[in-house]
């Protein structure tokens, strides 16, 4: 009986794009958690309090027990663990998937999403809700969000754009 062989051109381990994703995810988590700590402790904001920085940006402290941008606020205790479980499942799937990414844009997109999911997961487990603070409502954007939410949003947009562009190239 012979040992299974690996496909040619796909060495075992993590690709360069995979390592880039992991590094970017760690950067997003560190930045997200550091800024949340600064807003709560350094600025001393209380929930609902706002501190203008430079137009159009303010830091406004909000505890979000819904999903990104405050959607689906239920205040039910089970949502904390359901959303934490979902974030953990998504994170584990991304860790497994991105290790074989062969395009850097895929690694960047997945790194942003992974970092955002982990940043918000840490808040849910530690605090019972996600800390949101980035407020740009003068730009007609009514939601208050955080760095993790931004990572998720930008990562999803990049992933969708990449797939849209790839499908157009294949069709052409």
Does some domain include residue 37? yes
pLDDT tens by residue, 157-171: 999 999 888 777 666
Instruction: Please identify which of the residues 32, 65, 135, 149 carries the catalytic annotation.
Output: 149
Q: Render pLDDT for 77-128 as a digit per residue (tens, 0 to 9).
A: 777 888 899 999 999 999 999 999 999 999 999 999 999 999 999 999 999 9
Cβ neighbourhood burial of 37 (10 Å; 0-12, 13-18, 19+): exposed
Q: From the candidates 32, 65, 123, 132, which is the catalytic residue?
A: 132
Number of domains in the chain: 1
Q: What are the Cα distances from residue 131, in Å, to 49, 117, 120?
A: 13, 13, 8
In a domain, 2, yes or no: no
149 is catalytic: yes
85 within some domain: yes
Q: Quick check: 133 and 36 in contact, CB under 8 A?
A: yes
Domain-located, residue 39: yes
Q: Has residue 1 been placed in a domain?
A: no
For the chain, state the CA radius of gyration.
19
pTM for the structure as a whole: 0.84
Residue 132 phi/psi, 5-degree rounding, is -115, 150
Residue 118 lies in a domain: yes
The average confidence (pLDDT) of the chain is 87
Residue 11 within a domain: no
Q: 96 is in which domain, residue-wise? A: 16-46+57-171
* DSSP state letters, 115-145: HHHHHHHHHHHHHSSEEEEEE-GGGT---EE
């Amino acid at each position: 009986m012979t040992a299974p062989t690996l496909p040619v051109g796909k060495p075992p381990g993590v690709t360069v794009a995979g390592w880039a994703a992991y590094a970017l995810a760690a950067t997003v988590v560190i930045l997200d958690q550091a800024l949340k700590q600064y807003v709560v402790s350094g600025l001393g904001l209380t929930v609902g309090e706002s501190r203008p920085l430079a137009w159009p940006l303010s830091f406004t402290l909000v505890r979000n027990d819904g999903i990104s941008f405050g959607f689906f606020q239920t205040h039910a205790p089970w949502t904390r663990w359901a959303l934490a479980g979902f974030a953990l499942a998504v994170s584990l799937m991304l860790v497994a998937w991105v290790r074989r990414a062969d395009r850097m844009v895929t690694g960047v997109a997945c790194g942003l999403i992974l970092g955002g999911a982990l940043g918000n997961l840490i808040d849910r487990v530690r605090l019972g809700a996600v800390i949101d603070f980035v407020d740009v409502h003068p730009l007609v954007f009514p939601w208050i969000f955080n760095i993790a939410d931004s990572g998720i949003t930008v990562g999803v947009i990049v992933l969708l754009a990449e797939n849209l562009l790839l499908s157009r190239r294949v069709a052409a």
